[in-house]
Structure 1
Amino acid sequence: MRARHVDHVNLRIPADGADDAREFYGEALGFGIEDALYAADEKPFFDVRLSATAVIHLWPTDEFEPPERMNYDHVAVVVEEPVDEIEAELAEAGVEVEKTLDSPLGATGEAGAVYVRDPFGYRVELKARV
């Protein structure tokens, strides 16, 4: 078996968290939000479009439990911008940076990364392209 890339990640969010998710992932981070089928009640989740080949499925649920260090650390998303531009965009959007690392190792090598938390406690690594 030869894997090509991660297709999607499933994250549970609070039942009333869809608007916060749209604001954070769509407006603050600038990713596409695909929620027409969710809004039409045709599927129980909506998507954050990261690229042509990758999404985060966000599942609003009454059974949401915030992530803990024991069961979740982070999801890493490679972005085109260098670290200084990532930090500037986050500052402009009012998103607090948790930490910045010069060269954490990832699937494609070492590159700078900026870590933020979404409104539900999930850590997101925004990794500069190698």
Structure 2
Amino acid sequence: MDGTAIDHVKLRIPADGIETALAFYRDALGFGIDGMDLYESGEKPFFSVRLAPGAVVHLEPDEAFAAPTQTAYDHIAVRVDDDIEGIEATLADAGIEIDRRLDPLGATGVAPAVYVTDPFGYLLELKAERE
């Protein structure tokens, strides 16, 4: 079997967290939102954050949501088509605090990255695609 990429990750969010999710992922980070019409019509139990043409994060509102713990979840890494200064500027403009800065090894090698926590406790690694 030869995998080519991660297609999607599915995360649960609080049932009342939709507007908070949109404010963070769409408005602050600038990612697209897919499937809101299907979610609102009841056809799908989730909507999606479009990270790239072939990658999404499904967000499923859940009455029984519990914030992630270190024993069950660590982070999602997203390659961003920008340098680290551009990523940091976008976060600063949106008022999003950077948790830490590293040069981690990932699928495409070592590159600078910053880590931020979303409003639901999920850690995101935003990794620069270019220097």
TM norm. shorter chain > 0.5: yes
**Deviating runs (4+, > 2 A) in structure 1?**
none
1:125 to 2:108 alignment: no
Q: How does 1:14-53 map to 2 (within 5 A)?
A: 14-34=14-34, 35-53=36-54
Number of residues of Structure 1 aligned to a counterpart in Structure 2:
129
* Cα RMSD (Å): 0.8
Deviations 1:40-99 (A, max 9, x none): 221110000011100000010011110111111100000011111111110000111101
TM superposition score normalised by structure 2:
0.96
1:100 to 2:101 alignment: yes
Q: Which residue of 1 aligns with 2:88?
A: 87
For residue 32 of structure 1, what is the amino acid of its counterpart?
G
Q: Which residue of 2 aligns with 1:57?
A: 58
Q: Which residue of 2 aligns with 1:74?
A: 75
In structure 1, C-alpha distance between the alignment counterparts of 2:24 and 2:121, rounded to whole Å = 12
TM superposition score normalised by structure 1:
0.97
Q: Which runs of 5+ in 2 are unaligned?
A: none
Q: Which runs of 5+ in 1 are unaligned?
A: none
In structure 1, C-alpha distance between the alignment counterparts of 2:10 and 2:19, rounded to whole Å = 17
SS of the residue aligned with 1:84? helix
